[in-house]
């Protein structure tokens, strides 16, 4: 997991996108954790920089990811809910050998600032 976060941080720095590093690391961490836990291996991580930043995590499972709200007493179950809250859009697509869950973040300065929660 740490390797995935470090790779993401390095790539974002290369692209000059340090301002989205915290959110991207959290999204990647949740998606990779879910892929390992529920999909088995191997897990593939891909970042795509275009008009938006897309994080893709693929695993060999065909199980549909479920967005759920964890109860306060649950120790887990918040990963995909967090991704949905942090990403502008997210989804899942299926291929020959499993599925890919993707999460999209805005990249323009105006969009990045608008996506950040207001602080008091």
With bands split at pLDDT 50, 70 and 90, how would you rate the model's confidence at 103? very high
Q: Is the pLDDT of residue 119 over 50?
A: no
Higher pLDDT, 79 or 47: 47
What are the boundaries of each domain within the chain?
2-115
With bands split at pLDDT 50, 70 and 90, how would you rate the model's confidence at 2? confident
For 2-115, which CATH class? alpha beta
Strand intervals (E) in the chain = 44-49, 52-59, 89-95, 98-106
| Residue whose entry in the numeric block shows the structure tokens 């997210």 | 90
Q: Specify the DSSP class assigned to residue 52.
A: E
| 55 and 31 Cβ atoms separated by less than 8 Å | yes
Q: The tokens of 120 are what?
A: 């008091």
pTM: 0.80
pLDDT tens profile 57-68: 999 998 887 766
Q: In this predicted structure, what is the pLDDT of residue 41?
A: 80
Smallest Cα–Cα separation from 57: which of 40, 78, 75?
40
pLDDT tens profile 21-67: 999 999 999 999 989 988 888 999 999 999 999 999 999 998 887 76
- Three-class SS state of 106: strand
């Amino acid at each position: 997991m740490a390797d995935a976060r470090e790779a993401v941080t390095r790539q974002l720095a290369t692209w000059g996108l340090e301002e989205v590093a915290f959110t991207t690391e959290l999204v990647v961490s949740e998606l990779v954790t879910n892929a390992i836990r529920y999909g088995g291996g191997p897990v593939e991580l891909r970042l795509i920089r275009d008009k938006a930043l897309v994080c893709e995590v693929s695993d060999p499972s065909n199980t549909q990811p479920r967005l759920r709200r964890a109860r306060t007493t649950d120790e887990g179950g918040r990963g995909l809910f967090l991704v949905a809250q942090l990403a502008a859009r997210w989804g899942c697509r299926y291929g020959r050998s499993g599925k890919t869950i993707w999460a999209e973040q805005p990249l323009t300065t105006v969009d990045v600032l608008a996506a950040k929660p207001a602080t008091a």
